Amino acid sequence: MTAPESGRGIGNGESSAEITTTFGFPRDTFRILHVSTGNVCRSPVTERLTRHFVSQRLGILGGGLIVESAGTWGHEGAPMEAHAETVLAEFGADASGFVGRELLDEHVIRADLVLTATRDHRAQVISMGHSAGLRTFTLKEFTRLVNAIDPATLPPLDEGLVMRARALVRAAAALRGWLLAPTAEADEVYDPYGAPLTFFRSIGDEIFEALDPVVTALTGVPARA
């Protein structure tokens, strides 16, 4: 297993002084892995918007949070799609330095939360094993579950972002069988690959609307007006 590529995470929580898990990965970090197909459109946008929104709320990057992405048919080494970069820029997020990755076992093993674009992606991640079922959701599914969680039941941020994030995932997993999607399509973020900029913008808006309550629950800080 290799170390994560430089620049894929946020924060400085990967020093040798950290407490590690049985897999040898840091225990005082929390990794979010966004997954789509090619890792050039949806998952890069979701990755970079997550970083952007967390830093907006907390004023800093870090707190042990690492945000990454990969694709089930990832374009290894490919740049982000130009329209995806445009959408990120319109949200004020940074698209620089992005490099596409193919989803590997090691990415799933060390992820604390996997958020996928579609149900098919979720099924592919879970089929890889590594006890991924309880920590893998589609993005919109996770949003629906998070919206049903009372923030007062989560650890306060002053106890650490990692502790709060782990509690959020456990609470969401406990609710999954009780809060089903109204339709199958409700949990999907459709692929804009090859589409015009207007469609990329609509997908960007969907991702924004799904991420906003998740980041609010994660940080305990609502979006600025």
User: Could you give the CA distance from residue 174 to residue 185 in angstroms, rounded to a whole number?
Assistant: 22
Q: Which two tokens stand for residue 115?
A: 């958020």
Residues 6+ apart with CB under 8 A from 145: 137, 171, 172, 175, 176, 179
Tens of pLDDT, residues 105-114: 999 999 999 9
- The residues with which 137 forms a beta bridge, in sequence order, are 115
pLDDT in tens, the chain (225 residues): 223 333 344 443 333 333 334 334 446 899 999 999 999 999 999 999 999 999 999 887 677 999 999 999 988 999 999 999 999 999 999 999 999 999 999 999 999 999 999 999 999 999 999 999 999 999 999 999 999 999 999 999 889 999 999 999 999 999 998 888 888 889 999 999 999 999 999 999 999 999 999 999 999 988 775
Task: Identify the pLDDT of residue 3.
Answer: 30
User: 161 and 6 in contact (C-beta within 8 Å)?
Assistant: no
Task: Identify the pLDDT of residue 223.
Answer: 77
Task: Identify the pLDDT of residue 61.
Answer: 63
What is the number of helices (H) and of strands (E) in the chain? 7, 4
